[in-house]
Chain A
Amino acid sequence: MEKFTTHTGVAVPLRRSNVDTDQIIPAHWLKKVTRDGFEDGLFEAWRKDPEFVLNRPVYADATVLVAGPDFGTGSSREHAVWALQNFGFKVVVSPRFADIFRGNSGKSGLLAAQVDDKVVQRLWDHLDANPGATVSLDLVNRTVRAGEGVDAIEDSFTIDDYTRWRLLEGLDDVGITLSHEEDIVTYEAARPAYKPVTL
């Protein structure tokens, strides 16, 4: 996984709450057996509408998505994270993420930055007034910034310490756990005999 420290990129205002993972990547895309090639399926139904925000040329190279609360609800599909990444997104900003989506983001290196409701409103207004404007995220200091001068937006975002550390270091989760393999072996030795087995 690539290390993540800071990122500045063109941000898309997605003025929707409850963006479920079926909207992010519809089920028929889940038949693929690879982690790439999902970009064309991202928000597939909404992108059929020429007015949909992501269809505007100014957002062709967007890397930051600013969405309403309860982003990533529903299905556990990690394909939702891959679709966002395949399209080019590095960061999603939202007042509230569904648990599984947030977990999947951390594992795949997509920053899920949780901010106050009001920050999202201000970012939306700023981005709508300045299409193509950038938003900056600093994972070291957990800050989000946009705009300049008196109207500048600067606030903190929330991310748990452990995920932040893993993103900063670009660490592989399985590798970290296998470094504690003796703990697993010790635990297994004490499991009750009545626990079910499949073989």
Chain B
Amino acid sequence: MGRTLAEKVWDEHVVRSHEGEPDLLYIDLHLIHEVTSPQAFDGLRLAGRSVRRPDLTIATEDHNIPTTDLDKPIADLVSRTQVETLRRNCEEFGVRLHPMGDIDQGIVHVVGPQLGLTQPGMTIVCGDSHTATHGAFGSIAFGIGTSEVEHVLATQSLSQARPKMMAVEVVGDLPAGSTAKDLILALITQETTGGGQGYIVEYRGDAIRALSMEARMTICNMSIEWGAKAGLIAPDQVTYDYLRGRPSAPTGADWDAAVAHWDSLVTDDDAEFDKVITIDASTITPFVTWGTNPGQGVPLSGNVPDPASFEDDNERIAAENALTYMGLTAGTPMKDIKVDTVFIGSCTNGRIEDLRVAASLMKGHKVADDTRILVVPGSVRVRLQAEQEGLDVIFKEAGAEWRGAGCSMCLGMNPDQLMVGERAASTSNRNFEGRQGKGGRTHLVSPDVAVATGILGHLAGPADLVQLEKAGA
């Protein structure tokens, strides 16, 4: 019987397999940031261990990094200590670090692909649940806890029980005006936050093939939001075109050997998945969340649901709690919801393509009164690229704030936070209670919806902007 892409990549990385034990997997790339690594390095020191493969390890600073006053030291002393701890640890253990101020600093999941370190057929881990982003290249990539970070530092391997395999068959084509973000948000609502639990998920089908590399990263990035161990997409010409010429991509004969191997990794025709689910891309319209987990979503054209409409007790109670927290009333049209802050950025939607889309929609408009738009590039290189293309000028002319690179308001570990009761439309990945600031209220949206919302002051889609333009003309 044939094997799936994920099974092939898994099998290639088994260091040791023994009855009754999880497989010991070799890890090709270990990404590190300041938040989940200090206790791991401490563990190494206590045990007198070293980093086994500093040459397969790379660190950057992202979660705590301010996006303003970049020329000054980090004002929050606790944040500063954490960042300085990472610097000391990287120095002591010989790990390459891209600190604040470095041209390759940025969100760890933007930096890896940008450097060409993320390639097909790899195993990639990071102490961050959005590591599945790298699965867009056809790698098995997943988030780990700090004990596992220590384990990988010490052994370059990880004990892992083999997950089950799931295929998400995306049939049909995404309509114009609908994006990869809308597709993944709709899928998470369809499958709920636990639907992918125990599975590595392969996103397949023509609609996936038609996506750019960065849109594929948006899809894989949110695999964890429906509970999947990892999400991946088979490598193809789109992948190779994106990768070729990047600093760490293979060259010459190595490139040819690599591509030949990567081509062989795609799922065999006779491979069997443990589970197959289907979603029709042609039915996808702009999609937003109304609640406090990423599975509580609805089309932008819909209404806030009535908790009584949920049959499952847990879901009904969760919906009641969510509406209370979000300050929403059942039946309210989503487009009537006024928004205070729009956040464009994060490892989900903070790459150059996202910023290009945002700029193209924002051009010639002004941010609504009483609303602010923050545009936070995913990395310093994304920021520089955007400035080279003049995107920053468009943002600033519209009245949006153009910031430095980092995780920023996605989780508000830096000063970019919502106030109590403040409502945001955010291109990030989590709408949990307090995620973007204590008492803050988050609606997850695509960059397209984010821009339209920021200009109109309430949840809105690109089609509403066209209406505005017509009315103006």
Kindly state the separation between the CA atoms of A88 and B38 in the bound complex, as whole angstroms.
23
A181 proximity list for chain B (CB < 8 A): 155
In the complex, whether A15 has a CB less than 8 A from a CB of chain B is yes
In the complex, whether A140 has a CB less than 8 A from a CB of chain B is no
Task: Choose one: A70, A98, A174; the contact of B150 (CB below 8 Å).
Answer: A174
In the complex, whether B212 has a CB less than 8 A from a CB of chain A is no
Task: Choose one: B28, B255, B413, B434; the contact of A195 (CB below 8 Å).
Answer: B28
Q: Are A99's CB and B198's CB within 8 A?
A: yes
Given contacts A32-B78, A196-B119, A197-B56, contact A173 B147 (CB under 8 A): yes
Binary flags per residue of B406-450, CB closer than 8 Å to A gives 1, else 0? 000001110000000000000000101111001000000000000
Q: Are A177's CB and B248's CB within 8 A?
A: no
Kindly state the separation between the CA atoms of A69 and B197 in the bound complex, as whole angstroms.
12
Given contacts A104-B147, A187-B26, contact A174 B432 (CB under 8 A): no
Task: Choose one: B43, B47, B145; the contact of A76 (CB below 8 Å).
Answer: B145
B229 proximity list for chain A (CB < 8 A): 99
Q: Are A196's CB and B117's CB within 8 A?
A: yes
B116 proximity list for chain A (CB < 8 A): 196
Task: Choose one: A22, A78, A198; the contact of B117 (CB below 8 Å).
Answer: A198
Among B75-98, those with CB < 8 Å from A are: 76, 78-79, 81-82, 85, 94, 96
A79 proximity list for chain B (CB < 8 A): 146
Binary flags per residue of B200-229, CB closer than 8 Å to A gives 1, else 0? 000000000000000000000000110101
Q: Are B227's CB and A73's CB within 8 A?
A: yes
B239 proximity list for chain A (CB < 8 A): none
Task: Choose one: B55, B151, B430; the contact of A173 (CB below 8 Å).
Answer: B151
Task: Choose one: A16, A18, A100, A197; the contact of B145 (CB below 8 Å).
Answer: A100
A26 proximity list for chain B (CB < 8 A): 434, 438
Among A105-152, those with CB < 8 Å from B are: 107-108
Kindly state the separation between the CA atoms of A104 and B143 in the bound complex, as whole angstroms.
11
Kindly state the separation between the CA atoms of A77 and B104 in the bound complex, as whole angstroms.
25
B255 proximity list for chain A (CB < 8 A): 194
Kindly state the separation between the CA atoms of A17 and B148 in the bound complex, as whole angstroms.
26
Q: Count residues of chain A with CB under 8 A from any CB of chain B.
A: 59
Q: Which of the candidate stretches B280-288, B311-319, B339-347, B385-393 sits at the interface with the other chain? A: B311-319
Task: Choose one: B15, B197, B430; the contact of A99 (CB below 8 Å).
Answer: B197
B435 proximity list for chain A (CB < 8 A): 22, 27
Q: Give chain A nearest CB distance to B443 CB in angstroms.
A: 16
B43 proximity list for chain A (CB < 8 A): 174
Q: Most chain-A CB neighbours within 10 Å: which of B35, B161, B261, B317? A: B35
Q: Most chain-A CB neighbours within 10 Å: which of B117, B317, B432? A: B432
Kindly state the separation between the CA atoms of A184 and B229 in the bound complex, as whole angstroms.
24
In the complex, whether A6 has a CB less than 8 A from a CB of chain B is no
Q: Are A198's CB and B413's CB within 8 A?
A: no
Q: Give chain B nearest CB distance to A194 CB in angstroms.
A: 4
Give A residues with C-beta under 8 Å from B. Answer: 15-18, 20, 22-23, 26-28, 30-35, 45, 68-70, 73-79, 81, 96, 98-100, 103-104, 107-108, 160-162, 173-174, 176-178, 180-181, 183-184, 187-188, 191-199
Given A35-B39, A99-B229, A173-B147, 18 more contacts at CB 8 Å?
Answer: A20-B293, A20-B432, A26-B438, A30-B413, A32-B78, A69-B314, A81-B145, A100-B224, A173-B159, A176-B159, A180-B24, A183-B16, A184-B24, A184-B155, A195-B119, A196-B117, A199-B54, A199-B94
User: Can you pick out 20 interface pairs between chain A and chain B where the beta carbons lie within 8 Å of each other?
Assistant: A17-B318, A20-B293, A22-B432, A22-B435, A31-B79, A35-B42, A68-B314, A74-B430, A75-B128, A77-B145, A99-B198, A103-B145, A104-B145, A107-B147, A162-B22, A177-B24, A180-B16, A194-B254, A197-B248, A198-B96
Closest 7 CB pairs of A and B: A107-B147, A104-B145, A78-B145, A33-B38, A76-B143, A17-B314, A194-B254
Give B residues with C-beta under 8 Å from A. Answer: 15-16, 20-22, 24, 26, 28-29, 35-36, 38-39, 42-43, 47, 49, 52, 54-58, 63-64, 76, 78-79, 81-82, 85, 94, 96, 116-117, 119, 122, 127-129, 143-148, 150-151, 154-157, 159, 161, 193-194, 197-198, 224-225, 227, 229, 248-250, 254-255, 257-258, 261, 293, 295, 314-315, 317-318, 321, 411-413, 430, 432-435, 438
